[in-house]
Structure 1
Amino acid sequence: MENGNNTKRIDKFCVLICAFNESKHIESVVRGAVEQNPCRVVVVDDGSTDGTAELAEKAGAYVVRNSENAGKGASLKRGFELVQEHQCDAVIVVDGDGQHDPREIGRFLDAYERTKIPILVGNRMSDIRGMPIIRRWTNRFMAWILNRLVKIYVADPPCGYRFYRTDVLPFIMSDMPRFAFEFDILLHAALRRVRIDSVRVSTIYNRGRRSYVSPFRDAWLLFKVVKHHFLEGRR
């Protein structure tokens, strides 16, 4: 494998869903994912207290549980380890909150079939009418940072709807917590010259849904990621 950019065929793929207290949405998300015929739908329940795990199992998912809320980064890392154990060729990550349409999983598979690019990130920026203005600014700012640091352009870096070929996962893994994990993965991939591209996905926002994003905490984590990679680049 050279920089993760070979033309490996995808014979079977997993869907990975990380969820924390998503009892309102998890069943429909899992059922929608199951309908796309993956070899397995894996749900990492991140210490939920509202029956999320039981509902996910009922809908057809293979569920593992964190004993306490560890954050999205830790849950993704655990999920990636599981899908590699299941020997899937690729994993498609879908959020458990209903803001990703599982019926669009095929878009990622089609894009990989055409391009053989091993990391594909959902792009919601082509239709921003339903997107809160603070999210638009955040997405554009993160896209600018990514371009400045590693000279690649990803239109929607915070988007968690993603495709990864599993053979690249060991080379791009991050130790950053929570939402910074997904941004750090893109930096690791770019620095290792693993190709990244975008796939257009729907912009879906559930009004009234509680957000687990903490602006100050997550801004600090993003700053730590940027600082680390900037210093590494200077060296």
Structure 2
Amino acid sequence: MEKSECLVVIPAYNEEKNIARLVCEVKACGFPVIVVDDGSKDSTANEAKSAGAEVLVMSVNQGKGVALRRGFDGLLKTRYPAAIVMDSDGQHDPKELEHFLNALNETGSEVVVGNRMEDPKNMPWIRRVTNRFMSWIISSVSKQNISDSQCGYRALKREVLEKIKLKTDRFEIESEILLEAARMGFKISFIPIRCVYRNEISRINPIWDTVRFFSFLFKYLKQTRHLERA
């Protein structure tokens, strides 16, 4: 698989200050890019278009999960054999895109996820604790070794997106993708990445998102058990 065959999907919300630079850096690395504007109130969509991205615009803000599902649907209408998802706020380094592509080509994995936990010293401590806990739970449920379940920098082959059923609207989609991929028998692997944390207030609330995580997990386990009995 070549760079030109791997579509970079970027969900974005109110990122007019960062999105043009990010799109330009992704394109400079040789990858096509689509930005899903999740109902931004600023000029995120225009900035992304001006930088050369294909842009899907959602009329109202619905959450990262909805934006990603919209982006994946867009990919499935094309012939791209894989997607790489990255955040729009500058946390993820486009220079590492090639590492994800190499992992897809060389490891036999259908899903490749960035692992921030090999060097987590720059990660806010509450995020570090909740991520380790969530990753342990996802590992137990999926029966695969999940090093970093909440990292949004990840690559997925087309066959994964064609088979998994995604329903969540917000950040729970990070966990849902891994659980669904594991349930469908896909191999998940991890590569170390560097993550940059800005001083701005994060949209992630570790406590509230942990509550959402357990609510999602309970519903997911109930649903999958029902499917297994059917």
Which TM-score bucket, shorter chain as reference? over 0.9
Name which of 211, 222, 225 aligns with 2:216: 225
The aligned counterpart of 2:16 is 23
- 2:164 corresponds to 1:151: no
CA distance in 1, matches of 2:169, 2:186: 22
CA distance in 2, matches of 1:138, 1:32: 31
Unaligned runs of 5+ in 2: none
Q: Note the 1:132-171 alignment, pairs <5 A.
A: 132-171=124-163
Residue-pair matches, total: 225
Kept after mapping to 2: 8 A contact 1:120/1:199: yes
Aligned partner of residue 202 in structure 2, secondary structure: coil
CA distance in 1, matches of 2:22, 2:165: 26
What displacement does 1:27 show?
1.3
Letter in 1 for 2:169: P
Unaligned runs of 5+ in 1: 1-8
Identity %: 40
The superposition leaves residues 65-121 of structure 1 with CA deviations (integer Å, 9 ceiling, x where unpaired) of: 110101000000000011111210111111100000011100001111211211001
Moved over 4 A (4+): none
- 2:188 corresponds to 1:202: no
Normalised to the residue count of structure 1, the TM-score between the two structures is 0.90
Letter in 2 for 1:187: L
Kept after mapping to 2: 8 A contact 1:139/1:155: no
CA distance in 2, matches of 1:175, 1:229: 10
The aligned counterpart of 2:5 is 12
Aligned partner of residue 95 in structure 1, secondary structure: coil
CA distance in 1, matches of 2:38, 2:109: 30
Q: 1:215 to 1:136 in 2, by over 3 A?
A: closer
- 2:105 corresponds to 1:105: no
- 2:75 corresponds to 1:94: no
What displacement does 1:217 show?
3.9
